[in-house]
Amino acid sequence: MPAIDPQHVLWSHPADERAGRPLLVLMHGWSYDEHHLFALRTRLPDDLVVASVRSNLPEAGGFAWFPSRGNPIGDPQPAIANHAAASVVDWLTSLPRAATVGVGGFSQGGAMALQVMRLAPDIVDYAVNLAGFVVDDVQPGDAVLASRPRPVFWGHGAHDGVIPPSAVARTERWTSTHADAQVRVYAGLGHDVAGREVDDLAVFVEAHYRPAPESVRR
């Protein structure tokens, strides 16, 4: 995947107000773009810098992190997922240092958030997985996360007919051993982000976006 294009990143704050502040990076779902999750910023703390990034892979009238061909829903090829996640890590490391870094996304974007954390656990402080899944892969960062789990919010609908049960089960297994997880399943919700899930997401971010005291940070 080509590098993240800075021209297709939406920011909640102007450039001169970003350095040294907490940062949350949001990644859209399949067929969407950088506008997809940007409205969530209105539910998040005012001093949190939100960056909503866009994949550069056109698909289905929008953009995708993993192409549909050869990458079944919930089970992308690890090499494809790692290439996409590495593009986000490269972009993140090019930015001015942030006080904390969170990553989050919906569906494919949720998988991306977890994969970015697995590739770069030294950069990511917490993750948000909205109706996403963990890639069927093994990363060196998994050992780091198993020994020092990061906070992860995983919310999904009880009636999500898009993400296969096998991908949900895989995510349950990985999350139970590699994350300090808050898992929420929402009755009546399909493959979407809405209602109580947004409320819970806001509470989770509020609890984790500030820098921890140096004595308890990794």
Query: Cβ(124)–Cβ(217) under 8 Å?
Result: no
How many domains does the chain divide into? 1
Do the domain assignments include residue 215?
no
Cα separation of 36 and 49, whole Å?
A: 17
Amino acid at 161: G
Q: What number of residues does the chain have?
A: 218
- Per the listing, tokens 């780091």 go with 144
* Mean pLDDT of successive 10-residue stretches along the chain, which has 218 residues: 89 97 98 98 98 97 96 98 98 96 99 99 98 98 98 98 98 98 98 98 98 58
* Residue 217, domain member (yes or no): no
CATH code for position 117: 3.40.50.1820
Give the pLDDT confidence score for residue 2 in this predicted structure. 66
> Is residue 216, in this structure, part of any structural domain at all?
no
Q: Is residue 138 part of a domain?
A: yes
**146 part of a folded domain:** yes
Confirm whether 200 is domain-assigned. yes
Please indicate, yes or no, whether the overall pTM of this predicted structure exceeds 0.85: yes
What type of residue is 110?
G
Could you tell me the residue range of the domain that residue 202 belongs to? 6-208
Is the CB of residue 104 less than 8 Å from the CB of residue 110? yes
Whether 120 maps to a domain, the answer reads: yes
> What is the spatial distance between Cα 154 and Cα 172, in angstroms, rounded to a whole number?
10
DSSP 8-state code for residue 34: T
